[in-house]
Chain A
Amino acid sequence: MKTTTLMIAAAVAAAATSPLTAQAQNNTEKCYGVVKAGKNDCQTATSSCSGTSKKDAQKDAWIAVPKGTCEKIVGASLTAGK
């Protein structure tokens, strides 16, 4: 018990004074994923009247086959039973 307590105190102290704590703020690009602000607000382009000219063309029978970059991912079959 005592050892654990001391260990925690030591670790906390180490973390508090670690140089990592001081410099880690600036290495963003490489190891962080960043999403820029300003996308989803409480309205969208189509919620204006202009949206009415855009037709929801998707009928109930739609072709249920993904056709995006998932095709480039290695290691998963896109067609069942392959």
Chain B
Amino acid sequence: MLLELQQDFRRHLLREQAVSLSNAVLADGLSAQARLQVYRNHVTLSLREALRTTFPVTQRLVGEEFFAGMARQFIAAHPPLSPCLSEFGGAFPDFIAAFPPAAMLPYLPDVARLEWALNEAWHSGIEPALEAASLAVTDPEAAAASTLELQPSLRLLTSAWPVEMIWRANQSGQDGSGIDLAAGGCDLLIWREGDDAVFRSVAPEAAAMVRGLQADGVLHSAFALAGAAEALGLLLANGLIVGRRAVAPA
């Protein structure tokens, strides 16, 4: 009984179909239908507001009206799985990629991915960074076979589009102009720094090394790639390495 009522209410909120809940809701000044609509309106608006807050550049690119339409369909298809609004929207970039009206903006999903990565980074914890000096080793064999642990906030985004330029051109004070898609792709490292979420573009080689470290963490395999030394310096300089562990030789 209660389960059925809850499921009907859910269907009503997500506009899946017209369900009659009138006998479960009292009219009180407003009709039962009107009262239910206030509730539904509220759910949609709160969730859309959360998406706007997490994806401001995406919204600026397409305009408020288009964003609202896209958000409304996303909300109906992917209702929140957790009670925290900051965790809502992880599926939005993929939804945009498959959303026909946005198909003429092929870079849009990656812009949304950057915004989601920033949101995730922001809500990650910060581990104490490894002192650079503690990487200086006396035993080369052990060093090569050790693994590096990275900051939990660290994300990597590889895009075929100039999403960094697009993001920058759409910050407040910028008018969004000056972007040429022919500028090509970029590799972005995203992480939390203090109370901010930051990102910067890195060389493809550095991106490959971070990808390697994220996969198995072992220096050996990461260093099979070119540009590894610079990448390591970058990670160290930004406090993105939080630990080194010796691995027993295979």
B237 / chain A contacts, CB cutoff of 8 Å:
18, 20-22, 24-25
Measured in the bound complex, the distance between the Cα atoms of B236 and A39 in whole Å is 29
A78 CB to nearest chain B CB (Å):
6
Asked if A11 and B85 make an inter-chain contact with CB atoms under 8 angstroms apart, the answer reads no
From B44, B69, B136, give the contact of A17 (CB < 8 A): B136
If over half of B's interface residues share one DSSP class (helix, strand or loop), that class is named, otherwise mixed; here it is helix
Q: Which residue, of A40, A43, A46, A75, has the highest number of chain B Cβ atoms within 10 A?
A: A40
Could you mark each residue 41-52 of chain A with 1 if its beta carbon is under 8 Å from any beta carbon of chain B, else 0?
111111100011
How many residues of chain B have a CB within 8 Å of chain A? Answer: 81
CB of A77 to closest CB in B, whole Å: 7
Interface 1/0 per residue, A5-26 and B, CB below 8 Å: 1111101111111101110110
> B137 interface residue, CB < 8 Å from A?
yes
Cβ-closest chain A residue relative to B133? A16
A15 touches B232 (CB 8 A): yes
Residues of A at the B interface (CB closer than 8 Å) are 4-9, 11-18, 20-22, 24-25, 28, 31-47, 51-52, 54-56, 58, 62-70, 72-80
